Structure 1
Amino acid sequence: MPDVAPAVLAAAPAALAVLAVFADLRDESREVDLLVAALADGDWKRDTPAAGWTVAHQIAHLAWTDRAALLSMTDPDGFAWMLGTAAAAPESFVDEGAAEGAALPPAELLERWRDGRAALDAVLAAAPKDTRFPWYGPPMKAASMASARLMETWAHGQDIADALGVVRVPTARLRHVARIGVRARDYAYLVRGLPAPDGEFRVELTAPAAEGGPAEVWSYGPPDAPQRVTGPALDFCLLVTQRAHRADVAVRAEGADADRWLDIAQAFAGPAGTGRAPRADR
């Protein structure tokens, strides 16, 4: 976290957590930026694991969604118009937005994404902490909006890394992705027209090991919950963002409902995702 004034350091833990998620979003965005900043124009056309999406589509989508978040927080009428276009074409509006940006020259697209990130960062930092802003799912406070942007940035960054053959080192920023994945449990049932299970699950995830120290365990839900999900945080995040098939991750469930959830989990708003096929080398 960047240096902050002593008065801020004396603030409540919740205030520090808000500052941390804004800083983590900036760091996650920079990491993805480094993946593409030096690419030749031809490499922007590389296919990624998302069918029909190149590296350019991935960055275009991030730029498009940052713009949507900015409109949500600064121009309610403009965001309402975006919601209307999404409602008119629920199965295609995301692809159309990505295709529009991907058609730009790579340097222009990259600059658009950077400018949008900077504008959104300033608005997030200045937003009243208790104000809720409209979104494609439930309205969100600024900290939750930042968490959601981080989740998407990480997930689409993973698509880019896979396309380029880059193995990224997982960081503690994954805690934001994991938390959204847990909190979005019932949403995965809702978008599939299924009833959500009664009661919470216990989720215990092994965090990426800090350099020189033991790994933490991130825990969610009642310790005595009869149904449980356990595994590495990285694998759980890949699963709930649908960047890996369940067969390819070391996430385990105890209980029929928890087991079913791992088949349909999704951390992102919108229609039910199709997920990824199992790796061919299994």
Structure 2
Amino acid sequence: MTAPFEELLADLRDECAALDVVLAGLPAREWSRPTPARGWDVRDQVWHLGWFDGEAARACAEPEVYAEENARALRDVPAYAQDVVRRGREREPAEVLAHWREWSLRFRQAALAAGPGRIAWHDTTMSVLSMVSARVMETWAHGQDVRDTFGLPAQETDRLRHVARLGVRALPYAFRAHGQAPPDAPVRVELDLPSGAVVTFGPDGAEDRVTGRALDFCLVVTQRRHVDDAGLTVTGPVARRWLPIAQAFAGPPGSGRAPGGHGG
């Protein structure tokens, strides 16, 4: 077991704990409040997290069970996604919170037992290391939707480096998702973490560059803020084409946020 993998799991644990602090204090009536993600309320956000924590846990610990559920999902992805939301809306807020708590923990346990190697995931394979990073990103991003709903400040910690890394690595995917060929030119990304450390990606000599706070970059690549509302310095044609369509998550292009607000 590598130390970075254990540290990553600890960061996921801490990201979940930070969101739990917000959710634990919410009265039941507030779980039906609409979030900035169009059509989703707080209950939908938390159920989504718990459901896919559960899928990730089964992929690690019960691959046969996961494969059966995944085959059902792949037969009709939009219908499956709607069914997942429906199941959450049939449950009371306390049940949804308990479900997320249970499966976020079970995923961390299953990931630790499996180790950082590759496993089957959707229609491909994925390293458990990358899967844990993705769960950090998802927990932070959906947590941001909840925080925005109640006017709470963003969760800004050095754990954002995991979200940023996924956003950078997904650059080719973002272009392909929009029907564009990924550019050949590299992009240098330099981001300031809350601790004062600087995290960098890409060659130092690249003409295309993105610099600024890690928080602003992560809000953009998770489509929680429009790039025009982020305090990033963007230089070069490739970087300027990339950020408006950037997405750190898999799946079709999201609608993102409109300029000047958090609404979806």
What's the TM-score bracket when you normalise by the shorter of the two chains? over 0.9
The aligned residue for residue 269 of structure 1 is 250
Q: Which runs of 4+ in 1 moved over 6 A?
A: none
Residues 138 and 240 of structure 1, relative CA distance in 2, 3 Å threshold: farther
Structure 1, 263-272 or 224-233: larger mean CA deviation: 224-233
* Residue pair 2:193, 2:199 contacting (<8 A) in 1 also: yes
C-alpha distance in structure 2 between counterparts of 1:67 and 1:222, whole Å: 37
- Aligned pair count? 262
C-alpha distance in structure 2 between counterparts of 1:107 and 1:246, whole Å: 36
C-alpha distance in structure 2 between counterparts of 1:37 and 1:113, whole Å: 12
The aligned residue for residue 107 of structure 2 is 120
Structure 1, 67-76 or 176-185: larger mean CA deviation: 67-76
Question: Pick from 229, 234, 240: which aligns with 1:253?
Answer: 234
C-alpha distance in structure 1 between counterparts of 2:79 and 2:241, whole Å: 28
Query: What is the deviation of 1:228?
Result: 1.1
Please say if 1:132 is aligned against 2:113. Answer: no
C-alpha distance in structure 1 between counterparts of 2:42 and 2:241, whole Å: 32
Residues 138 and 181 of structure 1, relative CA distance in 2, 3 Å threshold: farther
* Residue pair 1:91, 1:271 contacting (<8 A) in 2 also: no
Residues 73 and 190 of structure 1, relative CA distance in 2, 3 Å threshold: same
Q: Specify every segment of 5 or more residues in structure 2 that has no aligned partner in the other structure, as ranges.
A: none
Give the TM-score of the pair, scaled to structure 2: 0.93
The aligned residue for residue 188 of structure 1 is 174
C-alpha distance in structure 2 between counterparts of 1:277 and 1:136, whole Å: 30
C-alpha distance in structure 1 between counterparts of 2:198 and 2:79, whole Å: 39
C-alpha distance in structure 2 between counterparts of 1:34 and 1:54, whole Å: 18
Query: What is the deviation of 1:137?
Result: 7.0
Taking the TM superposition and a 5 Å limit, the aligned residue runs for 1:1-282 are 15-129=2-116, 131-136=117-122, 139-208=125-194, 210=195, 215-280=196-261
Amino acid at match of 1:204: E
Amino acid at match of 2:69: M
Identity value in percent: 44
* Residue pair 2:60, 2:119 contacting (<8 A) in 1 also: yes
Query: What is the deviation of 1:79?
Result: 2.6
C-alpha distance in structure 2 between counterparts of 1:43 and 1:31, whole Å: 18
Query: What is the deviation of 1:94?
Result: 3.1
Amino acid at match of 2:173: Y
Give the TM-score of the pair, scaled to structure 1: 0.87
* Residue pair 1:136, 1:269 contacting (<8 A) in 2 also: no
* Residue pair 2:185, 2:238 contacting (<8 A) in 1 also: no
* Residue pair 2:211, 2:233 contacting (<8 A) in 1 also: yes
* Residue pair 2:61, 2:114 contacting (<8 A) in 1 also: no
Q: Specify every segment of 5 or more residues in structure 1 that has no aligned partner in the other structure, as ranges.
A: 1-10
Residues 229 and 95 of structure 1, relative CA distance in 2, 3 Å threshold: farther
C-alpha distance in structure 2 between counterparts of 1:270 and 1:104, whole Å: 26
Query: What is the deviation of 1:142?
Result: 1.9
* Residue pair 1:137, 1:270 contacting (<8 A) in 2 also: no
* Coordinate RMSD, CA, aligned: 1.8
C-alpha distance in structure 1 between counterparts of 2:71 and 2:233, whole Å: 39
Query: What is the deviation of 1:106?
Result: 1.0
* Residue pair 1:61, 1:94 contacting (<8 A) in 2 also: no
Amino acid at match of 1:52: G
C-alpha distance in structure 1 between counterparts of 2:86 and 2:139, whole Å: 18
